Amino acid sequence: MAFRLRIFTPRLLANLYIAIDAVIANKVRSLLTALGIIFGVAAVIAMLAIGNGAQQEILNQIKLVGVNNIVIKPIIEQKEEKLNENTTGKKDKKKFSPGLTIRDVNNIKATIPGLTRCSPEIILNTNVIRNGIRRSAKLVGVEPSYFQIYDFQLAEGQMFSEEQSKLGAPVCIIGSAVKSRFFPTENPVGKGIKVGPHWLTIVGVMRERLVSQASISKLGIRDFNMDVYAPLQSVLIRYENRDMITGEALRLAAMRSRGNIFMSGNSNSDENELDKKNYHQLDRLVIQVEETSKMQSTAEILARLLSRKHYEVVDFEIEIPELLLKQQQRTNDIFNYVLGAIAGISLLVGGIGIMNIMLASVLERIKEIGLRLSIGAQKSDVIQQFLFEAVMISVTGGVIGVILGISMAYIVSVVADIPTIISFASIVLSFGVAATVGLIFGIAPARRAANQDPIASLRYE
């Protein structure tokens, strides 16, 4: 309690009142002094808001490309036999693996925490036919989560409903290029199109995805605009389900077990057909992880889980977009450096402005300082007065700067259609730094004023 009373002494309050009177009496000078802090704080808040918005936008775009996605692909070419290391010429049968299936998806969802979405895919090469026009395309069997992971937007129609996905309804969503080729002058929603041997009803049209021909040819990126998307169950029921045992597979398996496959006239072709047969039910599985920092650990758990479910047969590969992860981290670092430099330079300029004008104020008020010292004021009183003035100007400029900065960020967001994110931390930081800058840069003028000789000051003209 005694400590609190010592802080608010009458002498200290008197110095505060004198500082307030001096600031009010010199409104123009005080405003000019505060301009550096006002625009510095406003620039910091506005630039941080614009920078945070741009950073979030870029990171969101990177995430849409797949920075948080773990991709599991099947390894199709798996030899059924291998040479025994101990006995030359003998062959041991490899362990059986069911391949990448829907069961793996269900196990992953039930076992591994921290996953946002799982998107199994089946990709089939097929032909699209309508009104005598035939065009090769890809039929992609997906679940609704696929469109959310890759942020695919509809230009017309609607997405698959939950009922259509579960029941395997004969519906599809076509790419924009399919619409342009087969429905150039009409709305395709509700109409039928023949995809392979089956007719499907179009329920939606994808918005065009801009992919250059160079990217398609050199980078191996698929032209999504020529794809036809159908519910995963529809593809499994109506087109192909590689998890089901077929007569051809039984024939080849029987030939293999009897050893006849090597004695038949077509032994090479039969063996190649068996070895290269894609027994995986799924062609691709994309798993979206909630936190980027857990990508590596999640991938390791996935590898162990799938290896156990596939009886230690490594017939899958797991891909993590390391380049995108590095790009995301680099983007974060660049924005932090740039925004920190902007904030530091802006407030440094404001602090220098305060110091310069306060030093000029000392020269203008030498007689006032000499008069106070001659009537009994101590050097500490003069220091306190000038420090109070500097801090008051900084704090007032900080408040005005906060209001101006928020207004600038809002105006930029509305007029230029640029996303801005105003964080409470940036306001507190800029305001706190403004007050600190006023205190630090006010020390030199205050000490200079306190060190004036009272007699010389009274004679000063």
Q: What is the pLDDT of residue 252?
A: 60
Question: What pLDDT is stored for residue 140 in this prediction?
Answer: 92
Q: What is the pLDDT of residue 79?
A: 47
Sign of CA dihedral 398, 400, 405, 410: positive
pLDDT at 229 over 90: yes
pLDDT tens digits along 8-36: 577 777 777 777 777 777 777 777 777 77
SS3 127: strand
Confidence label for 246 from pLDDT (cuts 50, 70 and 90): low
Task: Tell me how far apart the alpha carbons of residues 179 and 186 are, in angstroms, rounded to a whole number.
Answer: 9
The mean pLDDT value for 277-304 works out to 85
3-state secondary structure of 198: strand
**Predicted TM-score of the model (pTM):** 0.55
pLDDT band with cut points at 50, 70 and 90 for residue 281: confident
Residue 80: pLDDT above 70?
A: no
Note the helical H segments in 66-173.
102-111, 145-149, 162-167
- Residue pair 445/382 in contact by the 8 Å Cβ criterion: no
Residue 43 has pLDDT above 50, yes or no: yes
- What is the structure's pLDDT at 254? 63
CA 299 to chain centre: 19
- Helix-strand-coil percent breakdown of the chain, rounded to 5? 60, 15, 25
Q: Is pLDDT of 221 > 80?
A: no
Q: What is the pLDDT of residue 64?
A: 58
CA distance 12 to 14: 5
Quickly state the pLDDT bin for 141 (edges 50, 70, 90).
very high
The CA distance from 398 to 419, in Å, is: 24
Whether the predicted pLDDT of 273 surpasses 80: no
Tokens coding 402: 């906060």
C-alpha to C-alpha distance for 22 and 25, rounded to whole angstroms: 5
Q: Are 166 and 224 in contact (CB under 8 A)?
A: no
The CA distance from 203 to 421, in Å, is 37
